[in-house]
Amino acid sequence: MDIFLSYLRARLGILAISAAFFAVFALLSRLGGMAEENVLYAGLLCALVLLCAGAPDYLRFRRHHALLQELAARKPADCTGLPEPDTLPEADYQALARALEAEKARAVSDSDQHLRDREAYYTLWAHQIKTPISAMRLLLQQSGAPEVPELSQELFRVEQYVDMALQYLRLESDQSDYVIGRYSLDGIVRQAVRRYAPQFIRKKLSLDYEPCTALVLTDEKWLLFVVEQVLSNALKYTNTGKITIREAPGPALVIADTGIGIEPEDLPRVFDNGFTGYNGRADKKATGIGLYLCRRVCRKLNHTISVASAVGRGTTVTLGLGADERVME
């Protein structure tokens, strides 16, 4: 019914002219003494002719509408397959649409090229900056200055940010470097713990770790990145007590701390890009990107990540690793 009413509105001019002609014909016929039955018969005959002529036009109108809806639903939508125009204005509209599509394609191509150039530059920078970082670490190891522990801590933080930037670039890239397989969860966790062992020692925090037994279908490098980010947050916001790492059914990996916890109003937004919350604003050094990247990586791997927390009692992060074979696609 909506299509028919739209058709009538589109042909309203023709209908109005036809009605006007019939009214003039009827008026003149009556003035000429023609019988009312003959006038009515002539009107019905005109209406029948108009109906017979309009039916094919209406069907063509419906086909065009259905085709345009189909093209609009196509992802991505384009001008390929547009119906042949019936009128000159319709042809002009189609030419304009094709011109706009070509302009959009040029703009997208230019934008993609700029993005690729920028990604290439920052990826190169992230790799090159690791050379002076390694050199500085070597110099610090050879130095006996009392400031070495603090300087080593800051250098470690710089390296963390560089790694985070590199992983962010890799996630944004169209190219995938995922290597999916069955990996020992225990082996992945131990790599993360070894890297952050100096932080445990420096902050005098204990580690309660129960060796994991599960083999998980994942990408070792990317899951290690997620575990390291979660462990880094736990260390950053825990000043006393301990950090617990254990395996849960699913399988799942649970990392819990006895830190300052997360404000209830901040908890729903901890995975938002750039969101630092109350703790991040107090820390002044939080980027608000770590957990955002973790969630993106987990979605890529068909894993899950969730956070539970209570202010003053600590935070628990659970990584659901029960991925099915879709992670292989």
pLDDT digits (tens, 9 = 90+) for 256-296: 999 888 888 888 888 887 666 655 545 545 556 788 888 98
Start-to-end Cα distance in the chain: 45
pLDDT digits (tens, 9 = 90+) for 149-172: 778 777 877 877 787 777 777 776
Give the integer Cα–Cα distance in Å for 250 and 213.
Answer: 12
Is-above-0.85 flag for pTM?
no
Q: Find the helix or strand (DSSP H, E) in which 217 lies.
A: strand 215-219
Contacts 24+ apart (CB under 8 A), 176-180: 177/221, 178/219, 178/222, 178/300, 178/301, 179/219, 179/220, 179/221, 180/217, 180/218, 180/219, 180/327, 180/328
List the beta bridge partners of residue 308: 316
Whether residue 36 is predicted with pLDDT greater than 50 in this model: the reply is yes
Q: What is the DSSP string of 163-216?
A: HHHHHHHHHHSSS----EEEEEHHHHHHHHHHHHHHHHHHHT-EEEEPPP--EE
Looking at residue 233, the DSSP 8-state letter turns out to be H
pLDDT bracket for residue 329 (50, 70, 90): very low
Angle formed by the axes of helices 220-236 and 185-203, to 10°? 20
Tokens at 118, concatenated? 């920028």
